[in-house]
């Protein structure tokens, strides 16, 4: 540490009267001195360098300041005054790295910069590992499309109720933003419904494709609520004989997963649906309508709710396709992964929703 104090005497005079080249050279040398020994410096040493460098670094070239900012952005004990000074520079090449990841910029400074600087600074800030509600309120209010999309896609960002309302409002005109917001784990069910209400059908379908399986059920529930009660569909199938068979099995204590698996493997659709209905308390008409649709999801949901093994769920998927169609291995594997990841609590909420709707 002997070198740094030797450069301090006469520093004020040097700054007032020294030529820019000399000041830039001295600034570079002291910055390198700091960086070469930063791992061993005590807080008072860092403060000493901070006082010197905040006077000298502004005289260095832009490229030198950008390089210094990049290196300082990775340090937990970087000089706070210098970091704050560089983070407020207009050149994003200098401010950007610090705004993205420097751990020494405090919340107050970030909020000040977010309220005063341009889109480049906001974009860099939106990539930070964590963002507070106070900060995202400003980012959503001032940020352009790219900034808001980046912040919405940041899993470490927190949003206030007002912030989410603003995000959802902007998402009604931005499908990419809808996808980013819809994938957020902290989005509540009412907020998800508001988000989907303002989106078009193609965006809703895309969101279903990109979210995690446990989120898909919530999205489908919200879409169902927005769509209103489904029109009753008359089934061409006669379930009465199957119902009598299932009632007999139930009376004999033999209505179980093994019986269901046997029906599914034999492609006995009516018996399989009647058995699922008895085991899940979802009406036959509701299950028939859901399972005969375009997707496997209802089978995964009801299977998870009543605790079926994958082998039985797989057999029900093949039953749905019919004996004359061959399932693509990739589709079956996707269904297996989705079934494994589907949370029982999520599946139960969807089944409860089906039960409520059928009662209404």
Q: How far is CA 299 from CA 33, 159, 276, in A?
A: 66, 35, 10
Q: Are 318 and 358 in contact (CB under 8 A)?
A: no
Count CA within 13 A, CB hemisphere, residue 276: 35
Its pTM surpasses 0.85: no
pLDDT at 235: 54
pLDDT at 351: 84
Where do runs of H (alpha helix) occur along 145-212? 145-152, 161-171, 175-182, 189-197, 201-210
> Is residue 138 domain-resident?
no
Dihedral over alpha carbons 309, 311, 315, 316 (to 10 degrees): 20
> Is residue 11 domain-resident?
yes
CA gap 173, 149 in Å, rounded: 12
**151 φ, ψ to 5°?**
-65, -40
Other CB atoms within 10 Å distance of the CB of residue 147: 21
185: helix, strand or coil: coil
CA gap 81, 53 in Å, rounded: 9
CA gap 351, 126 in Å, rounded: 38
CA gap 173, 282 in Å, rounded: 38
* Domain final residue, candidates 63, 90, 105: 105
> Is residue 110 domain-resident?
no
Range of the domain at 352: 240-359
> Is residue 177 domain-resident?
no
* Domain final residue, candidates 86, 105, 124: 105
Closest residue by Cα to residue 79 from 54, 107, 99: 54
pLDDT at 6: 45
pLDDT at 18: 62
CA gap 84, 110 in Å, rounded: 9
- Give the pair of three-digit tokens for residue 310: 């994958």
Listing DSSP states for 65-121 in one string gives HHHHHHHHTT-TT--HHHHHHHHT-S-HHHHHHHHHH-TTS-HHHHHHHHHHS-HHH
Provide the number of structural domains found in the chain: 2
pLDDT 10s digits, 12-71: 555 556 667 888 888 898 999 999 998 899 999 999 999 999 989 999 999 999 999 999
> Is residue 145 domain-resident?
no
pLDDT 10s digits, 80-105: 999 999 999 999 999 999 999 999 99
Q: How far is CA 130 from CA 84, 124, 162, 163, 225, in A?
A: 18, 12, 18, 15, 34
pLDDT (tens, 9 = 90+) of the chain, 360 residues, equals: 444 444 445 555 555 566 678 888 888 989 999 999 988 999 999 999 999 999 899 999 999 999 999 999 999 999 999 999 999 999 999 999 999 999 999 999 999 999 999 999 999 999 999 999 999 999 999 999 999 999 999 999 999 999 999 999 999 889 899 999 999 989 988 898 899 888 877 778 888 788 877 677 777 777 766 665 444 444 578 888 998 999 888 888 898 999 999 999 999 999 999 999 989 888 898 898 888 877 788 999 999 999 999 999 999 999 988 887 777 888 889 889 989 988 888 888 888 888 776 655
Listing DSSP states for 210-227 in one string gives HS-HHHHHHHHHHHHHHH
Report the greatest alpha carbon distance in the chain.
Answer: 102
Dihedral over alpha carbons 83, 89, 92, 96 (to 10 degrees): 20
> Is residue 203 domain-resident?
no
The answer for residues whose C-beta is within 8 angstroms of residue 205's C-beta and 6 or more apart is: none
pLDDT at 306: 92
* Domain final residue, candidates 64, 81, 105: 105
pLDDT at 1: 40
> Is residue 153 domain-resident?
no
pLDDT at 88: 97
pLDDT at 331: 85
CA gap 267, 261 in Å, rounded: 10
> Is residue 295 domain-resident?
yes
């Amino acid at each position: 540490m002997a070198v740094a104090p030797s450069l301090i005497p006469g520093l004020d005079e040097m700054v007032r009267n020294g030529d820019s080249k000399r000041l830039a050279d001295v600034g570079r040398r002291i910055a390198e001195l700091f960086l070469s020994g930063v791992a061993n410096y005590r807080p008072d040493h860092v403060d000493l360098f901070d006082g010197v460098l905040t006077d000298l670094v502004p005289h260095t070239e832009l490229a030198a300041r950008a390089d210094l900012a990049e290196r300082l952005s990775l340090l937990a004990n970087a000089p706070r005054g210098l970091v704050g000074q560089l983070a407020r520079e207009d050149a994003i090449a200098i401010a950007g790295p610090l705004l993205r990841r420097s751990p020494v910029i405090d919340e107050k400074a970030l909020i000040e910069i977010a309220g005063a600087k341009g889109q480049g600074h906001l974009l860099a800030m939106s990539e930070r590992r964590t963002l507070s509600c106070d900060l995202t309120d400003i980012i959503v209010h001032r940020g352009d499309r790219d900034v808001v999309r980046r912040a919405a896609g940041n899993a470490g960002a927190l949003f206030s109720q007002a912030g989410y309302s603003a995000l959802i409002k902007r998402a009604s005109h931005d499908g990419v933003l809808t996808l980013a917001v819809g994938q957020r784990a902290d989005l509540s069910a009412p907020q998800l419904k508001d988000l989907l209400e303002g989106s078009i059908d193609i965006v809703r379908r895309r969101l279903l494709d990109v979210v995690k399986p446990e989120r898909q059920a919530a999205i489908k529930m919200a879409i169902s609520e927005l769509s209103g009660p489904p029109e009753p569909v008359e089934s061409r199938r006669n379930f009465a004989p199957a119902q009598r068979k299932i009632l007999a099995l139930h009376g004999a204590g033999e209505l179980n997963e093994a019986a269901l698996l046997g029906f599914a493997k034999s492609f006995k659709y009516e018996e399989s649906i009647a058995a699922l209905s008895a085991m899940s308390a979802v009406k036959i008409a509701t299950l028939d309508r859901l399972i005969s649709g375009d997707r496997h999801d209802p089978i995964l949901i009801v299977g998870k709710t009543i605790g079926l093994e994958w082998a039985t769920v797989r057999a029900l998927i093949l039953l749905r396709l019919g004996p004359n169609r061959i399932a693509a291995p990739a589709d079956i594997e996707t269904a297996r992964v989705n079934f494994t990841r589907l949370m029982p609590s999520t599946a139960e909420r969807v089944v409860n929703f089906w039960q409520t709707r059928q009662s209404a």
